[in-house]
Amino acid sequence: MLIGSMNFPGRSVLKEIHRIHDDGFDFVDLTLEPPAAWLPDGAEVGRLLSDLGLGAVGHTAYYLPIASPWPELRAQARDLYRRCLDVFAAAGVTLVNVHPDQRLPLHNSDQMRARNAEAIAALVGDAAQVGIEVMVENLDNRFADVDDLAAIFDAAPGARFHLDVGHANLRVGRGEDDRTERLLEAFGDRLAHVHVSDNNGGGDDLHLPLGAGRVDFRRAIRSLKRRGYDGTVTLEVFSREREHLRTSRRLWLSWWRDTDA
């Protein structure tokens, strides 16, 4: 089990990597997005990661309009994603996420699935050319459950699955069920990476410290262990106080150790 943290894109990437190392994490969930993390020198990032003994996975901006109704925006978003891939490749990062595009007004579910399936299949092909695998993240609204994501994986059989446990628990407090087990049952054979953060089970993805909300992390751990997962887990906890992130790390490791499959 490797535990990582994401760099804050409002600060220097190199300084953030040092901070993540100093906090005792195993890897950096390297996000490339404005204002301060677009675009760093990939070779320089790779050298620093190597010097510090840190691994890395790649993260891209959730708001890239990869499936926009406008062809010009789709083309621009794909070009921006390719630029991310070039930086990741230079840094030695071989696994990079993508978020399906939910912002398609007046499109029904089938149209939205089709547009995203086509766009992500193209990105998977682009990534393969530079030795990178793409993983698709479950989201908080559309593309939150099996049917929407299945359309993407059908079109892009080489794509991996990126489980966000916090997203899978949104709206649980409004009568919906935890989608973690259902997603793992459908896509567990593709699972490449996991994000964890807490929330109150409403509609807001709060990225709270672990234990501050309503997510049943022991249940999520049991689901992961039943599938033999013991890979990378990012604590996607956003707080000005770094101690919340360090405490979340201790809690996750203790829950992982003490929870049976």
pLDDT tens-digit readout, 188-230: 999 999 999 999 998 899 999 999 999 999 999 999 999 999 9
pLDDT at residue 157 above 80?
yes
* Euclidean distance between CA atoms 12 and 8, whole angstroms: 8
Indicate the SS3 state at residue 117. helix
pLDDT the model gives residue 177: 85
DSSP 8-class letter at 11: S
The CA dihedral of 260, 232, 26, 130, to the nearest 10 degrees, is: 170
Count CB atoms within 10 A of the CB of residue 19.
Answer: 17
pLDDT in tens, 40-55: 999 999 999 999 999 9
pLDDT the model gives residue 1: 87
Strand ranges for the chain from DSSP E: 2-6, 27-32, 55-60, 95-98, 133-137, 160-164, 191-196, 232-235
Of 53, 45, 39, nearest to 9 (Cα)? 39
* Euclidean distance between CA atoms 137 and 173, whole angstroms: 22
Indicate the SS3 state at residue 230. coil
Bond from prior residue into 34 cis (ω within 30 degrees of 0)? no
* Euclidean distance between CA atoms 159 and 106, whole angstroms: 27
pLDDT category at 105 given cuts 50, 70, 90 is confident
Give burial (CB, 10 Å; 0-12/13-18/19+) of 137. Answer: buried
Indicate the SS3 state at residue 142. coil
239 close to 245: Cβ distance less than 8 angstroms: yes
The CATH number for 2-258, chosen from 2.60.120.430, 3.30.70.1450, 3.20.20.150, 3.90.850.10, is 3.20.20.150
* Euclidean distance between CA atoms 201 and 110, whole angstroms: 27
Of 194, 240, 246, 197, nearest to 217 (Cα)? 197
The number of residues in the chain equals 261
Q: Which two three-digit tokens encode residue 151?
A: 């359309």
Mean pLDDT of the region 71-96: 98
DSSP 8-class letter at 8: P
* Euclidean distance between CA atoms 87 and 39, whole angstroms: 7
Beta bridge partners of 137: 162
pLDDT the model gives residue 176: 80
- Identity at 137, one-letter amino acid code: E
Indicate the SS3 state at residue 67. coil
pLDDT category at 180 given cuts 50, 70, 90 is very high
